Structure 1
Amino acid sequence: MSMILFASVVRVRDGLPLSASTDFYHAQEFLECRRRLKTLALRLAQYPGRGSAETCDFRIHFSSSGDVACMAICSHQCPAAMAFCFLETLWWDFTASHDSTCISLASRPYAFLEFDSVIQKMKWHFNHMSPSQMKSCLEEIQEELEFQPPAVLSLEDTDVANGMLNGHTPVYLEPAPSFRMEPVTALGVLSLVLNIMCAALNLIRGVHLVEHSLQVAQEEIGNILAFLIPFGACIFQCYLYLFYSPARTVKVLLMLAFICLGNVYLHGLRNLWQILFHIGVAFLSSHQILTRQLQEKQSDCGV
């Protein structure tokens, strides 16, 4: 008997379904559970990274991180560790093959229909794992669940109407699991140091111009902004390297453009070598940001 009956990928901010498995269950209890899953999807932003809700016949499990959440309807015989292992593997596969920008711009349900077949194959794989495969798959996730148990939601928590009638909406303060980035490299540290130095130089020159321009001429305003905007861009580049952020490529290109345009505008206040140094550091930092990826999920239960 299958233990994972249905799975879907949804967008966290509004519960928009992005992809889902095909189900062949038409019992009234299962259809009611599907309805509750859709209702719960609308409120995922209020919950922690992992949670479960139980009905008379089925369990709903969800796992969310960033813009995407994966949800499943499982039988009572399905161990929680197996369900969350499945959901986490599904999350990694979906986010690895779909850019966060495309996810945020999706405007219609099931925009990533081609991923449905991947969900089906993964669901079949987990439902037909051998005991030895299941043991190796579940050990790591079982430890995580013991350390940080998933939130347990009551049936009322999955019904928006009930939440309204009770006069409150439960909000859980447990943190969602954070993204793990690859380790910082020596070249990455160098780019951070140089970027901070460039930011400091821009800030000092910008503040110096402000202090000596109490009667600010029109042309001086441009010079001040040409120092201060690249200063902010350098600091934001440091942030993008250290922490994961959605749509990183767009943000990196935008910061690089600000720095390059600002330094070109400052031709005359800076010599050619100074301009090339600032632009070179910006390109080095951009390269380091784009090459530092999310850490690969180490799992023995891949499809």
Structure 2
Amino acid sequence: MIGFSMITKTRDGLPLCGTTDMRSEDQSEDYHLAYKDLKSITKRLSKFPDRCSYTPNSYSIHFISAVGLTFLVLCESSYPVVLAFSFLDEIQKEFLQEYERDKAVEASLRPYAYIKFDLNITKIKARYNNPRSLRTRLDLSALSQEIKILPPYVIHPDEFKYPGGKSASLTSFRTAASSERHFVSLDLYGWLSVGLNILCSLLNLTRGVSIMNDGHVDSLDSETFQYAIAFFLCFLFFGYQVYLMSCPTSMRKPLACATLGSICLCQLYLWEHRTSMQMLFHVTVGCAATFTIFTRQIQEKLPQYNL
């Protein structure tokens, strides 16, 4: 259920309106800790994206920012994310309809200058705390789809405080977001591509080692040594394709193209040591891996998107 909601100015975190129906004695320790985190977040709202979520314990904090205002809600972590953001969207629309945006954002206001809007929030919260009677359920499909496509940015605790509780300067939230991204599970074709790449990588390593051993390293001529290096490079390129298929790096697509081009060049250089079928096999495996890298989807979403 929703426990607390507030409206602040994004620029400086000045609270314009806030409401709670819970008595202090009924609030758990987790609630108090999450509330303190919410207050810490309001001090640096301008550093975060327009839609964010943070779950420190059994409670979650969600907020949206627009036109210089931020709308925040503190609710139980089991409360559906799509309902929490629908609640925030409804508060935002009603607030902007009732008050002039420029007056609310630009004017120098005292804290809780719009405390009367608490009644509006209380009415909306009552409906959202009783989902069975929520008439807007059928209207949530568009928002649910939007959240699936563009999920909220998940805030990490280190982005607004040190472990000791002191405020810290915000690190790049985009870097933190990318570190939490992960691929969807590989299908049969993807696993086949990984297996064939590992096979090609090992075959090239074996050929390279064989050439070095047959030539007794010390007596290797320049051309034979270059062929051995080419085999070792193929070993590395096929291994790197496995890495690109497994890790969601931001530059994986251009890197995949460069790796495939290098594999093709190596095959042309090694044409005297390989049959046409062997060259075709290696190039085909490289192309298949590149296709997997391009088509494998990145998943970065919060749980509880669905109602």
With the length of structure 2 as denominator, give the TM-score of the two structures. 0.51
Which of 253, 256, 264 is the aligned partner of 1:252? 256
- Cα pair 1:59 1:76 within 8 Å, conserved: no
Shift in Å, 1:159: 5.3
| 8 Å CA contact retained: 1:53, 1:59 | no
Cα pair distance change 1:271/1:159, threshold 3 Å: closer
SS at match of 1:157: coil
Change (3 A) 1:5 1:216: farther
Name which of 264, 269, 274 aligns with 2:273: 269
| Structure 2 SS opposite 1:244 | coil
CA offsets, 1:96-136, max 9 Å, x none?
A: xxxxxxxxxxxxxxxxxxxxxxxxx9974574686147999
Q: 2:198, 2:236 → 1: CA distance?
A: 11
**29 and 194 in structure 1: CA distance in 2 versus 1, 3 angstrom threshold:** same
**How far apart, in 2, do the equivalents of 1:56 and 1:196 lie?**
46
Seen in structure 2, the aligned counterparts of structure 1 residues 156 and 209 have a Cα distance that, compared at 3 Å, is: same
Alignment check: 8 A CA contact 1:4 1:123 kept: no
Alignment of 1:101-250 (within 5 A): 124=89, 127=92, 131=128, 132=131, 151=157, 153=161, 156-158=166-168, 178-213=180-215, 214=217, 215-250=219-254
Which residue pairs with 2:6 in the alignment? 3
1:158-181 per-residue CA deviation (whole Å, 9 max, x = no partner) reads 259xxxxxxxxxxxxxx9973232
Q: Any idea what the Cα deviations from partners look like across 1:22-58, whole Å, max 9, x if unmatched?
A: x5x6x7857xxxxxxxxxxxxxxxxxxxx94635976
Q: Alpha carbons of 1:124 and 1:188: their partners in 2 closer, same or farther (altered >3 Å)?
A: same
Amino acid at match of 1:287: F
Aligned Cα RMSD in Å? 5.0
Contact 2:237 2:259 in 1 (8 A): yes
Q: Output the CA distance in 1 between the equivalents of 2:244 and 2:87.
A: 33
Q: Is the 8 A contact 2:63 2:72 kept in 1?
A: no
Structure 2 gap ranges (5+): 16-35, 55-61, 94-123, 144-154, 171-176
Q: Does 1:292 align with 2:299?
A: no
TM, length-normalised to structure 1: 0.51
With over 3 angstroms needed to count, the CA separation of the structure-2 counterparts of 1:57 and 1:281, relative to structure 1, is closer
**Amino acid paired to 1:242:** S
Unaligned runs of 5+ in 1: 7-22, 31-50, 65-69, 90-120, 138-148, 161-174
Per the alignment, residue 96 of structure 1 pairs with none
What secondary structure sits across from 1:54 in the alignment? Answer: helix
Alpha-carbon offset, residue 271 of structure 1: 1.1
Contact 1:179 1:244 in 2 (8 A): yes
Superposition pairs of residues 33-48 of structure 1, within 5 angstroms:
none
1:243 Cα deviation (Å)? 2.5
- Partner SS, residue 260 of structure 2: helix
The answer (yes or no) to whether the contact 2:197–2:242 under 8 Å persists in 1 is yes
Preserved CA contact (<8 Å) 1:53 1:153: no
Query: Relative to 1, partners in 2 of residues 1:300 and 1:266: Cα closer, same or farther, differing over 3 Å?
Result: same
Answer with 1 or 2: which has the greater Rg. Answer: 2
Q: Secondary structure at the match of 2:167?
A: helix
Measured in 1, the distance between the counterparts of 2:179 and 2:284 equals: 35
